[in-house]
Structure 1
């Protein structure tokens, strides 16, 4: 299976979002406030959205905002927990 590095995947997500082209991804969920995970989450159509500012959150660099299409509902994922992007396996 083909691979892609984490930040290359993020850059490609940004490019696709600028073109309004949804992408697919999979990641392990993580909820720090409840200290739990719901396991693997698959998103078939996503677009990035504005994230947290660095002065508002210590996790701004790794907590990535996205919308799940077509509903547009706002969600978050942790970049280090990204496992797949558009069929590519994400590696560090």
Structure 2
């Protein structure tokens, strides 16, 4: 989710994108009780999801889920911009009961 797909989202209105952190395997480097900035892979000033947000802990390997992000599909993705390898497929599901 980068650039063109977030035009109407909270970040464009100078708000942080709502998110949750799904803890990974806890083996990676971590930051605890410090503000963090969550950015996309484009490395541009506009590719920021949240600035200086508080988290209890975030680590390499954790998954960050964003709310109010809208739909995002491969056909409108800037997938060739960074020349990264193509994804075979990935699915993350969270069921609310």
Computing the radius of gyration from Cα coordinates, the structure with the larger value is 2
TM-score (norm 1): 0.27
TM-score (norm 2): 0.27
Report the structure, 1 or 2, having the larger strand content. 1
Report the structure, 1 or 2, having the larger helix content. 1
